[in-house]
Amino acid sequence: MAYSLTRFTFRQDDVASIEFGSGGAPAGVDPGSIGWSRPTGSIITCTDSGAQYIHDGTGTWDQQLDANSTFQDAADLQDMVTEAVLAPTADAVAAIHAGFPGNNASNDFPGAFTNPDVPRNLSFTFGAAWDGGNVTPVGTDIDDAPCTEVITAPGGGGVVQSLKIYKTVTSATKGAIGIDAATCSIDSWHMLGLVNPPAVDGGILSVAGLTEAATWSAAPQAKGFTPTTLPDGAKDFVAEFPRAGATSVVTATP
């Protein structure tokens, strides 16, 4: 019975996909040179057996690859993924919650809260005389895990952005009962979330078909990017970036 290896793909940084070819060999037999130049000393690891193969600098991999094995390059091989954030709305004051007075007898922002249109970070607009203390939003992140942080109120009022990205906002509290009626509203902001975990703080962002600079974050609950072009409810944002923990699988089929 003839066997062949199904094709699989690795991606590295912003290099185009490279396809590793077929082989006419049964499981456990060398399928032939993969034929992709790698730096001397690069390592490919079989994660289900622990076997490691070190590149000898000849310009190609030519190692025995066991069928049905998962491999991940331990050097700098990355899987590039593409995610699109479709037409996020423009930043808006009170998009999540209307202004809440600092002197309210309750420290709990009253319901209801409006969730962000897409997972994104929040902004908090404090009135000049706000004396209700710090504000703590509570919700979930893009992976539906609990998400919260303390937003430090600036003296004399102002605008402060959250460091985390929220998919939902379910509650918020202020830290004190003040004496002034100055308010704090919860607004939407334009750090946009990514579903896949980035491997590094970097990537390629296209807006309306044009590549532009962006600030990237791979931090937990802050995985996303801040574009140069502000969302307006019409433009799509397409992010391409190396995904953390990427693997590819080699399988043998009759």
- pLDDT per residue over 147-180, tens digit each? 999 999 999 999 999 999 999 999 999 999 999 9
Share of the chain above pLDDT 90, in %: 57
Q: In this predicted structure, what is the pLDDT of residue 4?
A: 29
Check residues 35 and 132 and name the one with the higher pLDDT. 132
For 86, the token pair is 């479709």
Closest C-alpha among 153, 237, 159, 151 to residue 191? 237
Per-residue DSSP letter, 218:
-
Neighbours of 61 (CB within 10 A): 19
Q: For residue range 16-25, what is the model confidence (pLDDT) as tens digits?
A: 222 233 333 3
Q: Round the average pLDDT of the chain to a whole number and report it.
A: 76
Q: In this predicted structure, what is the pLDDT of residue 43?
A: 52
Q: In this predicted structure, what is the pLDDT of residue 140?
A: 98
For 102, the token pair is 């600092």
Q: In this predicted structure, what is the pLDDT of residue 229?
A: 97
Per DSSP bridges, beta strands 69-73 and 43-46 are: antiparallel
Q: For residue range 83-126, what is the model confidence (pLDDT) as tens digits?
A: 999 999 999 999 999 999 999 999 999 989 999 999 999 999 99
Q: In this predicted structure, what is the pLDDT of residue 200?
A: 84
Phi, psi for residue 81 in degrees, rounded to 5: -125, 160
Phi, psi for residue 237 in degrees, rounded to 5: -115, 120
Q: In this predicted structure, what is the pLDDT of residue 246?
A: 52
Domain spans of the chain? 1-77, 81-86+194-242, 97-191
Give the span between the Cα atoms of 124 and 189, in whole angstroms.
9
Q: For residue range 125-147, what is the model confidence (pLDDT) as tens digits?
A: 999 999 999 999 999 999 999 99
pLDDT reading at 29 higher than 70: no
pLDDT reading at 47 higher than 70: no
pLDDT mean over 200-211: 90
Give the span between the Cα atoms of 164 and 24, in whole angstroms.
50
Q: For residue range 191-204, what is the model confidence (pLDDT) as tens digits?
A: 999 998 888 898 89
Tell me, yes or no, if the pTM score tops 0.75.
no
Share of the chain above pLDDT 70, in %: 65
Q: In this predicted structure, what is the pLDDT of residue 21?
A: 31
Q: In this predicted structure, what is the pLDDT of residue 147?
A: 98
pLDDT reading at 7 higher than 90: no
